[in-house]
Amino acid sequence: MKKSELPIEQSYFFHGHYRLAYETHGPEHGDVIVLVHGILLDAHCNRGIAAALAEHGYRVILLDLLGHGRSDKPTKASEHRVDFYAEQVLGLMDHLHLERAILGGVSLGAITSLTAACIAPHRVKALFLEMPVMENAAPAAALMLVPLMLSVHFVKPLYRLFGKLLRRLPDSDKAVYNSLRNALSAEPEVIRAILHGVLVGPIVPTQRRRRHVAPPTLVIGHAHDPLHDMADAKSLKRQLPKAEFIAARSMLELRTKPERLMPRILDFMNRVSARTEFSGNSELTLEREAANG
């Protein structure tokens, strides 16, 4: 199927009293993968990955977390916590009547998916965790995100003008750049609330909880980025019972030059799907044998 022919549908659902946006790529009956964006970004940053997976028969759902993209944007920091974001992923699955799905994402999306797996392990078929933000990254996260949070708070008029100019820029053919533009052009109150809420809330499940995450997992890390420390990604691979690891060459490789990484990601997804199908067929066979005595 050619990219231009891939079905894409933009929709909304209500989680509590907030309206959240999502978009669907790929065939209606494909194996479902739910992907979540990084902090302040939106579904655009995962569109290239979604298109590649959809071309191979997967149904890919891209969620805009609360405060991001086309979703509602409350300005209370208390509404923006990673565990609340994980509940939104599970709420999307409920809305779509999905008992289980492959969950994944980049950065904030990775730890949101990991948290969802800790909350409801029976709902997760597999995990795809790109550039997870873990304990080693906490000092870097504070050093990088707190100044931004303070800047948008104390220079609101100037930042609003900056955002207005950014919104006038035309769309790029690279969806990740559109996502970055949308992030930087958001209202300063929303940016401050998201950063404040994520930083003061629980950022990542404890190591004790992580060691009980049983689904097959693919972890992608890269070097030379203190916010997404390679040591964290490798440590997470060791902690999860069924994890595999891939080293990316840069934080943008998968979105700008995916030729090396995408075949390995597809191999993982295909193995997970085949394993699940085999398991399901085996259970069905056992049920029939039991029924026949």
- The mean pLDDT of 183-198, rounded to a whole number, is 94
pLDDT, position 289? 37
- Model confidence at 278, in pLDDT bands (50, 70, 90)? low
**Contact (Cβ atoms closer than 8 angstroms) between residue 46 and residue 106:** yes
Token pair 């934080």 is at which residue? Answer: 251
What mean pLDDT, rounded, does the chain reach?
Answer: 90
* Helix residue ranges, H only, 3-137: 47-55, 82-95, 108-119
Cβ atoms of 198 and 66 within 8 Å: the answer is no
Res 290 pLDDT > 80: no
The pLDDT value given to residue 118: 97
- Tens-place pLDDT, residues 17-26: 999 999 999 9
Report residue 90 as tokens: 């599970």
pLDDT > 70 fraction of the chain, expressed in percent and rounded: 91
pLDDT mean over 161-179: 91
Is the pLDDT at 154 greater than 90? The verdict is no
Q: For the residues 158-180, what does the mean pLDDT come to?
A: 91
In the chain, the amino acid numbered 205 is P
pLDDT, residue 287, reads: 35
The confidence score (pLDDT) of residue 68 equals: 98
- Decide if 108 contacts 141 (C-beta within 8 A): no
250 to 45, 185, 258: CA distances (angstroms): 15, 25, 11
pLDDT per residue over 57-112, tens digit each? 999 999 999 999 999 999 999 999 999 999 999 999 999 999 999 999 999 999 99
27 CB burial (10 A radius; 0-12, 13-18, 19+): middle
> Regarding predicted confidence, which is higher, 28 or 60?
60
Greater pLDDT, 284 or 67: 67
pLDDT of 7: 61
Which residue stretches of the chain are H helix?
A: 47-55, 82-95, 108-119, 138-154, 156-167, 175-184, 188-200, 207-210, 230-239, 253-256, 262-291
Is pLDDT of 286 > 60?
no
pLDDT score at 142? 81
Residue 2 has pLDDT above 60, yes or no: no
Burial class of residue 11, CB neighbours in 10 A (0-12, 13-18, 19+): middle
Averaged over 192-219, what is the pLDDT? 93
Q: pLDDT digit string (tens) for 213-258?
A: 999 999 999 988 888 999 999 999 999 999 999 999 999 999 999 9
